[in-house]
Chains A and B, each alone.
With several copies, the nearest count.
Chain A
Amino acid sequence: MKQLWQVREVSTLMILVLEVAFFTWYLWPSDGGHPFLNVGNALLILKYSSIYGIAAIGAAIVIITGGIDLSSGAVIGLTSVVTGYFFVQADWSLTASALMGLMVGLSAGLASSWLIVGMRLPPFIATLGVMGIWRGAGYIITEARFYDLSAKLPRNWTVVGVSIDWVPPLVMVALAGTFQVLMKRFQWGRAIFAVGGNETAALFSGLRVGLVKTTAYVTAGLLAAISGVVLAVVQGQGKADLANGYELDIIASAVVGGTSLTGGRGSVAGAVLGALIFGVLRNALPQIPGATFYDRVIVGLAVIVIVVMDQIMVRRGEA
């Protein structure tokens, strides 16, 4: 059996713990309650991270197949628009509107995979093109305005007794768990890893490589759409430019979580942990007075330092 140390996700978790420990220490208050280490703040981090985290699960899956999905941010934005459109404009129920939102993800996944599998475009360029199309579609639908869902949504809304704020993190954890099991314990996951490890070998082994890739992009599209629905519902907004540029943060989350961009290696649980690592940074950095213009530098450095640390840990684990 593997040593705990060698389990890929553990090193990412360690980094998250170190990060939280650091900010807890650094932001230790001279008086009163801790501004960083409190339940409300933890929930805040979880709530915002889940928008990235849910999509990062899909990003990790696509990257493991050896591909990449640059359209996730645009899918999130368009999903919020479509959900908003049906909920506010067409006055449908929330569930029905959310389902229409998920359709966006499904179509996006099918479109990307058709280009990649059917037309044999490189994933980077296919999803880059598709990104422009979805983002543009959002602007066309809204005519650069937005749908305000919050007016129609209940205030202090609870779902089976829990505040709506807890729903996104719970969805994220549930999805991460489900996909972690699917990836590790089911044939589908094994096929994803095989395709990413050696596509020719996968083909020669009788794997339906095209189908496997299609499922990966469709899954990624659906997960991005779930992020979009969460965004629309929890934040009460459907707007074309939402999540603009998030695709890079989402991919970075997956990579920081141990997913290798050359394919064949990675973890969906790691991707969620990666999203949390960035979520903590986004939350804690504004609490440091005077660091205003240093944010980007710190986030950039953090990405590098984390991946370097992670590599060192993994190498030590192997030795």
Chain B
Amino acid sequence: GGGTSDAPPAARKLRFALIPKSLDIPVFDYARIGGERAAAALGVEVIYRGPDRADELRQKEVLESFITQKVDGIAISVLNASFLTSTIDRAVDAGIPVVTWDSDAPASKRLAFYGVDDYRSGIVMGEETAKMLNGKGTVAFITSLGANNLARRLEGAREALAKHPGITILETYDIKEDSVRTGEIIATGTNRYPNLGAWISVGGWPVFSANALAPVPPTTKFVSFDTVPSAITLLRAGKVQVLLGQKYFGWGEEPIKLLHGIINGRKPTNPIIDSGVDVVTAATVDAYEAAWKAMVAGGK
């Protein structure tokens, strides 16, 4: 199947679907904003839709619904790659260009991927942690069972830590997609392991407010995903040492630009477009914050 289609009639606006993993994850809303900015700039329409919670079946339903609607292009953050591969292929075969962002479906016929591999982000988390612990100490993970991207990050982090025999992984806590439970788990875990070396949270749940991290003693390091403003504040307060951020606005912007380009016959030379991951530490926080402010202001 070809990735291009005939140029559409000028009268009609192009309609692109932007599908996140779930509507209830805060960082995806930046992707929406990014996508809408790009759409406004390009004069296309973007429909931001996804499952209301991270439910891969519902995501597939939304994806298929966009295929039958014959939108002009689809940009999707794939909840479960193997689950969506054949559906993505079907879309591409039907002449609807698909690009992935944030989370890829590498085996599919998608035309491009924008983002970082979750596995690689995990490795970065593991390495940063090992560095902070000087290669020895104890680590507890926070994750939510069921989500593939989280599983991939976890895998990467474990792999990275496995290279350091001095580091013991004590626990992997399942917070069941519940940020209230995150606070409870961190408090309980701290109670249980007062001398814990580091926490690694493969999702952003702990850094959305200061409260969850309140019980963590200064001797315990904290590494978390997501670089939202509240997380930056925590990092400045010394509650968090390392934050991993992705190109939240770019998640929306780039795929829409890519789709627009593809429709107009500009296929990306390399399908994997590495967005790079932002590693925010005390050293880089000022620069990151300045960049973030610029991004937020960006389209307004």
Contacts and interface: CB of A to CB of B under 8 A. Distances in A.
User: Per the CB under 8 Å rule, do A and B touch in the complex?
Assistant: yes
A120 B58 CA distance: 32
Contact of B48 (A146, A282, A292): A292
A90 interface: no
B209 A237 contact: yes
Contacts of A150: 82-83, 85-86, 209-211, 230
A245 B57 CA distance: 12
B285 interface: no
Contacts of A177: none
B70 A35 contact: yes
A161 interface: no
Given A33-B70, A41-B191, A44-B187, A239 B208 contact: yes
B144 to A, nearest CB: 9
B178 A236 contact: no
Contact of B171 (A145, A234, A292): A292
Contacts of A293: 23, 145, 174
Interface in B12-59: 12, 23-26, 28-29, 32, 45, 47-49, 52-53, 55-58
Interface string A131-168: 00000000100011110111100010000000000000
A139 B145 contact: yes
A241 B208 contact: no
A260 interface: no
Contacts of A51: 57, 180
B13 to A, nearest CB: 11
Contact of A243 (B48, B57, B184, B212): B57
Contacts of A139: 23-24, 52, 145-146
B183 interface: yes
A245 B55 CA distance: 10
B179 interface: yes
A6 interface: no
Nearest to A143: B29
Given A235-B83, A296-B52, A144 B29 contact: yes
B80 interface: yes
B62 interface: yes
B211 A234 contact: yes
Contacts of A38: 68, 191
A80 to B, nearest CB: 9
A108 interface: no
Contact of B209 (A31, A44, A149, A282): A149
Interface size, A (range) = 35 or more
Contacts of A209: none
A81 B151 CA distance: 17
A87 interface: no
B159 interface: no
A286 B47 contact: yes
Contact of B65 (A41, A239, A241): A41
A292 B23 contact: yes
A246 to B, nearest CB: 8
Interface in B150-180: 151, 170-174, 177-180
26 contacts: A31-B11, A38-B191, A41-B65, A44-B61, A44-B68, A44-B184, A44-B191, A48-B57, A48-B64, A139-B52, A139-B146, A145-B26, A146-B209, A150-B209, A150-B211, A151-B230, A235-B60, A235-B83, A236-B83, A236-B211, A236-B212, A237-B208, A239-B56, A240-B24, A286-B188, A289-B45
Q: Which A-B residue pairs are the 7 nearest by beta carbons? A: A241-B146, A236-B211, A236-B209, A150-B210, A35-B69, A150-B209, A237-B209
Interface of A: 31-33, 35-36, 38, 40-41, 44, 48, 51, 139, 143-146, 148-151, 155, 231, 234-237, 239-245, 282-283, 286-287, 289, 292-293, 295-296
Given A32-B70, A231-B57, 15 more contacts: A35-B191, A41-B191, A139-B24, A148-B208, A150-B86, A151-B233, A235-B179, A236-B82, A237-B82, A239-B179, A245-B178, A283-B184, A286-B49, A286-B189, A293-B145
